[in-house]
């Protein structure tokens, strides 16, 4: 979708992108969130299920709009939609400062992306800029996901993600103080 937003690809690919977003970005991420919940990873559960639901709702909204089911929809609807997701992403971004630097980059660029998408409802140039920020955000998310998978599988740091101290280690230090 960000290739289209940036003006790199044709709008004719929108249905393919939305289908991919519905199933991989939507259903698969939502399922991943449930698995994260089962392992006790509250951040992963919150992020994956929420962004899975985002992709499902975005695809449904765009298809319904194309079918004229939302004939009265206006730019303000998408502006509000993107601003709310930007605010939610900003809250998660704050939490990433306790996880690792790679996630700080992913969520920081995601906040900027949602802000630009919202403003881009009223400005073609800003919408195009959002596409490029989205490409960066997606690339940083792919890097972060792959680096995490590689590092955990091979039990080392092969691609750096810049880990921060975990809250549990801070808690242990606080308990140790007299």
List per-residue pLDDT tens for the chain, 178 residues long.
898 899 998 777 778 888 888 999 999 999 999 999 999 999 999 999 999 999 999 998 888 888 888 777 677 889 999 999 999 999 999 999 999 999 999 999 999 999 999 999 999 999 999 999 999 999 999 999 999 999 999 999 999 999 876 656 555 544 554 4
Cα 136 to Cα 130: distance, rounded to the nearest angstrom: 10
Cα 113 to Cα 86: distance, rounded to the nearest angstrom: 8
How far is CA 130 from its chain centroid? 14
Report residue 100: phi and psi, to 5°. Answer: -160, 160
Q: pLDDT tens digits, residue range 122-133?
A: 999 999 999 999
Give the max Cα distance, the chain: 67
CA atoms within 13 A on the CB side of 158: 13
* Cβ neighbours for 75, distance < 8 A, ≥ 6 positions apart: 121, 122
Classified as helix, coil or strand, 170 is helix
């Amino acid at each position: 979708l960000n290739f289209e937003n940036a003006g790199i690809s044709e709008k004719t690919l929108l249905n393919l992108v939305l289908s991919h977003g519905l199933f991989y970005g939507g259903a698969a991420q939502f399922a991943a969130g449930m698995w994260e919940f089962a392992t006790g990873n509250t951040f992963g559960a919150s992020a994956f299920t929420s962004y899975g639901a985002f992709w499902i709702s975005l695809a449904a909204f765009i298809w319904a709009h194309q079918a004229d089911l939302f004939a009265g929809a206006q730019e303000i609807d998408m502006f509000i939609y993107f601003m709310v997701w930007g605010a939610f992403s900003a809250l998660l971004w704050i939490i990433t400062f306790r996880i690792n630097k790679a996630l700080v980059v992913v969520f920081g660029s995601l906040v900027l992306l949602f802000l630009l998408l919202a403003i881009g409802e009223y400005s073609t140039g800003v919408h195009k800029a959002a596409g490029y920020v989205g490409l960066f955000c997606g690339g940083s998310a792919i890097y972060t996901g792959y680096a995490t998978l590689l590092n955990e599988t091979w039990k080392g740091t092969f691609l750096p993600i810049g880990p921060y101290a975990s809250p549990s280690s801070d808690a242990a230090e606080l308990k140790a103080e007299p």
